[in-house]
Structure 1
């Protein structure tokens, strides 16, 4: 029982405040030799806050960093990236490049990953734009 409580307390301590509160906890510690990493960490954190408020450019930054890693500053999460591209395409301000990024990011994923991305983006679209996700998502 003592081992279980110790493991539980260590597990609780390892969850950072970012992981507990943000929709996509993705920043990483920068490694030496990655000169742009710290700048991108700050950029991603700022963009995530703005993206969750509906800022189109910030949403593009978040989606890009989640798919590319942004010089090691962000953990790559293709499902989260796909979710953000779906939000962008449903924003009403999407460009041809946004639609291309959606296809390139989402199409290689499994059906289960696509379903997960649709569910996450559906929640975001309802929160940000007060409407349902468009069914023709081009995935």
Structure 2
């Protein structure tokens, strides 16, 4: 039982950025000595904490890692990446590059994936900014 509780508490550090109640890991286990993987895993974890506090640069890092895998340290999740790009678009600090990244990430997805990304982004915007997202999402 103690092992289970320890595993669950450690696993809580690596849960999906979209739903903390889920146990879907987004970081990968790094191979011993894989310094780039360890660095990106740590950077992703730190960025995720800051992104949830509204830090624009951290939100960009989270979206980038979920889209690219950050040198194989993070599980690629296009829906989650799109969700974060939608959050960035609703941050009030979005740039032209952010809009381009949103279109590049989100447009190729299926309608069901886009709906899921919108729903996840809606929850994140409410959690981070205490308001509803803008009506347009630029997808």
TM over 0.5: yes
Distance 2:45 2:90 in 1: 23
Residues 119 and 12 of structure 1, relative CA distance in 2, 3 Å threshold:
farther
Distance 1:113 1:33 in 2: 36
Q: Give the corresponding residue for 1:23.
A: 18
Query: Greater CA radius of gyration, 1 or 2?
Result: 1
Residues 35 and 18 of structure 1, relative CA distance in 2, 3 Å threshold:
closer
So what's the TM-score if we normalise by structure 2? 0.83
Residues 74 and 14 of structure 1, relative CA distance in 2, 3 Å threshold:
same
Report the secondary structure of 1:36's partner residue.
helix
Aligned length: 130
Map 1:1-139 onto structure 2 (within 5 A).
16-19=11-14, 22-23=17-18, 25-31=25-31, 34-139=34-139
Gaps of 5+ in 2: 20-24
How much is the aligned-residue C-alpha RMSD, in angstroms? 2.4
* Shift of residue 79, structure 1, vs aligned partner: 0.3
